[in-house]
Amino acid sequence: MENLEAFPVSSYIDENYYAGSKKSAKAGQMALELTQNAQIVLRKRYLVKDDAGRPTETPEELFRRVALAIAQPDALYEGPDRVQETARKFLELMTSLDFMPNSPTLMNAGRQLGQLSACFVLPVGDSIDSIFEAIKHAAMIHKSGGGTGFSFSSIRPENDKVLSTQGVASGPVSFMSVFDVATETIKQGGTRRGANMGILRVDHPDILKFITCKTDNLRMTNFNISVAVTDYFMRAVETGSDYPLINPRTGEEVEKLSARDVFDQIVQSAWKNGEPGIIFIDAMNRDNPTPKVGRIESTNPCGEQPLLAYESCNLGSINLANMYAGGHVDYERLKSVVWGVVHFLDNVIEANRYPLAKIENLTKANRKIGLGVMGFADLLIALGIPYNSEGAVATAEELMGFIQEESKAASAYLGKMRGNFPNYPGSVYDSPETSFMRHATTTTIAPTGTISIIAGCSSGIEPIFAISFVRKVLDGEELVETHPLFRKIAQERGFYSEELMKRIAQKGSIKDFAEIPEDVRRVFVVSHDVEPSWHIRIQAAFQKHTDNAVSKTVNFPFSASPEEVYQAYISAFELGCKGLTIYRDGSREAQVLNIQRKTQYPQVEPRPRPDITRGITERVNTGCGKLYVTINSDEYGFCEVFAQMGKAGGCAYSQIEATSRLISLALRSGVKVESVIKQLVGIRCPSPTWRNGEQVVSCSDGIAKVLKQHANATISTGFADQMGACPDCGGAVEHEGGCIVCRSCGFSRCN
């Protein structure tokens, strides 16, 4: 592979992307400018590391690695001389932070693994062989860094006949548990954790069991679940009619249920903890670009990418915050970036190393790509448009309409130059009006989690998460971080003060700060300031001009009623959305990533101890003797503490064991390690001693000091108590498209 060290990072993107321009980078090239958060996330999640876990590449080298690897396919179509020029353009797209590909591409391009796709769908048939083949293939995909979606609708219902054994079937929900356990054992490429989407049709006989299968937040932790609802079902909800349940083994009706009763159960479960979501499966199939190839039955884990069985998709997002110039949207720049990204994602299809031959064959036959956006909320702020306004809805439609049109033009150009996608005959594009099309789909709105942190912009099409938050750095020092546009306006208009920023950081929102001008408060709205109806209208506006689907979370306050959730689902259906994910603030208290509300103190069960933990053991000198403290962690953080004296037996030994057990119970119940330390540190006994220059005044104090030394509590936000705490750093997490994301350390999880 060639080397890109010969050319520096630059901000120039050719205006005429495919015109073969030989213009070189501008004089006075810029250095890559990353926020502190972006540097943390890259170092922790993306940069190549040695065996000791130390990064062996810089962020600049990461982008060079990716650019050169993704440029290589140009040699197949335009000759090897084109590769360096294309690599420069791809590098400029990323280092300007105008565009980021999906995480597997950033992690794996130019490396041995080479698996670049984020989204896969696998079939699950009604046989043991098919089910366990799907589990095997899912394990291979998770190991390579991808997420998987499954429809379990073909599996015969619980207690149905099994002719080969004269027994009875266990049903789809039972087999989902097997998938969940298998996923738990696979860590994606060492950097990404397995995630699944589980879908069941609303007319499956086991639908009621499926709807409530995640009522216990400690079950199915590696699954998002969604009900595939049909137009027929939604009409039955509207009219108050019954609808039939169909046994997939026989195709026969086995029972009728009240559509409203079933819909109410979906609503109640989603109101309780955000699951299940809803997939409007008929809407997805109406937009299926290759209906003669197959029907769409499932999506990827976050719901934005409908795929055929054994299909994958490659995603990437444009940073709309960078498309603002001179008081308006810079459509010339946006056009150039769209064309460049379509070229980039087309090359990803060729450069990819697929985990299965079946997936490679169908992916290359349909060549689906998913160009999306991030930084939409930042762009609205720059334009002076409130997120919850008609202006925002109009801007969303205009922007996505433009991106859709230009992505189709770029795809048509590539189709003419490189050939149409092989399944083009028989697709929706197979008409006299459309002679060329390289990709069956070009647009998807995906959650952008960590890549938006790298780009330094707001997530996807979500509102901004917080105006200010507090970061804890070394030695416990606290730094207030504020949205840069808000800081700029506050300084220009004379109401900026560090004290005000600290107060805002305790709430996240500025809606109740009377000293801030009303017009500023109107524009700088955060997610929980936005009524659910506006969330849905923004989602629908983007969906209108998106081939695939739109991933978005509709936030509800804790006080929201089930009726409000009911109306949100109805509204999403009527406005043409292809699915909906809701999250009610405070609805997952039993999870480790919980919402500790000031007025709600639910009793919780500790999470189960995993079969495998990792940790350290440290010896502490105490006045009672040598104390050996072991701290173990699971995927959520600290989960247990063991402490032993050098001698067994006696009252002191039993008290140390009791202390350790209670600490472990607290940690697995979601109690912050800082709270545990606070309760233990400073407890005195008659025999203090010294350790590493500080006094250890008791065995309990010694345990606390070991915990404090190894705790990774770098962030504390005043509103984390309301939003949920990151298990890695303690910061507030965002809920986005069925996933949680910490914008401070890059932790993400779909569950």
Lowest mean per-residue pLDDT among 256-265, 323-332, 390-399, 554-563: 554-563
Tell me the per-residue pLDDT of 456-515, one tens digit each, with 9 for 90 and over.
Answer: 999 999 999 889 877 655 455 667 789 999 999 999 999 999 999 989 988 889 999 999
Q: Are the CB atoms for 449 and 108 separated by under 8 Å?
A: no
Q: What is the pLDDT of residue 737?
A: 72
Which pLDDT score is estimated for 712?
54
pLDDT of residue 2: 45
Residue tagged 């996505």 (tokens): 400
- Report yes or no: 534 and 388 within 8 Å, Cβ to Cβ: yes
219-238 pLDDT, tens per residue? Answer: 888 899 999 999 999 999 99
pLDDT of residue 507: 85
Q: Identify the three-state secondary structure at position 117.
A: coil
Mean pLDDT across the chain: 86
Better pLDDT: 14 or 542: 542
Per-residue pLDDT, 295: 97
Res 499: pLDDT? 92
Which candidate in 92, 304, 311, 589 is catalytic? 304
Q: Is the confidence at residue 282, as pLDDT, over 50?
A: yes
Mean predicted confidence (pLDDT) in 240-263: 97
Furthest-apart CA pair in the chain: how many Å? 91
Residues of the chain with pLDDT > 90, as a percent, come to 62
Bond from prior residue into 248 cis (ω within 30 degrees of 0)? no
Higher pLDDT, 464 or 735: 464
The first and second tokens of residue 749, run together, are 């999880």
pLDDT band of residue 384 (cuts 50, 70, 90) is very high
Which pLDDT does position 520 carry in this prediction? 96
What pLDDT score does 590 carry? 36
Q: How confident is the model at residue 649 (pLDDT cuts 50, 70, 90)?
A: low
Cα distances (angstroms) measured from residue 27 to each of 23, 67, 92, 340: 11, 21, 14, 21
237-249 pLDDT tens trace: 999 999 999 999 9
Q: How far is residue 549's CA from residue 546's CA, in Å, rounded to a whole number?
A: 6
- For 146, 374, 568, 572, the CA distances from 579, given in Å and listed in that order, are 22, 19, 11, 7
Which single residue is written with the structure tokens 């979601």? 670
Q: Average of pLDDT values for 531-551? A: 97
Q: Six-digit token pair at 442?
A: 């070009």
Catalytic residue among 224, 273, 300, 352: 300
Q: Kindly report, residue by residue over 122-135, the tens digit of the pLDDT.
A: 999 999 999 999 99
Closest CA to 446 of 549, 518, 529: 549
Instruction: Provide the percentage of residues in the chain whose pLDDT is more than 70.
Output: 86
Q: What is the pLDDT of residues 403-447, one digit of tens each?
A: 999 999 999 999 999 999 999 987 777 665 668 999 999 999 999
Per residue in 162-173, pLDDT (tens digit) is 876 778 999 999
The CA distance from 108 to 502, in Å, is 40
Our answer to whether residue 300 is catalytic in this structure is yes
Least confident interval from 16-20, 518-522, 732-736: 16-20
221-231 core/surface letters (b: 16 or more CB in 10 A; e: else): bbbbbbbbbbe
pTM: 0.80
| Model confidence band, residue 346 (pLDDT cutoffs 50, 70, 90) | very high
Does residue 21 have a pLDDT over 50?
Answer: no
What pLDDT does residue 614 have? Answer: 84
Q: Of the ranges 271-285, 587-601, 671-685, which one carries the lowest mean pLDDT score?
A: 587-601
Q: Which domains does the chain have, with CATH numbers?
A: 1-96 (no CATH), 119-299 (3.20.70.20), 466-522 (no CATH), 594-732 (no CATH)
Identify the DSSP state of 725.
B
Higher pLDDT, 232 or 713: 232
Is there a catalytic annotation at residue 304?
yes
Which residues, in sequence order, are CB contacts of 43 under 8 Å at separation 6+?
Answer: 55
Query: pLDDT value at position 720?
Result: 52
Q: For 43-84, what is each residue's pLDDT tens digit? A: 988 999 999 989 999 999 999 999 999 999 999 999 999 999
Q: How far apart are CA 466 and CA 504, in angstroms?
A: 9
CA distance 23 to 21: 6
Tell me the pLDDT band of 588, cut-offs 50, 70 and 90: low
For residue 350, pLDDT beyond 60: yes
Exactly one of 302, 313, 726, 729 is catalytic; name it. Answer: 302
Name the DSSP letter for residue 543.
H
Confidence of residue 291 (pLDDT cuts 50, 70, 90): very high
Q: Report d(CA 587, CA 589) in Å as an integer.
A: 6
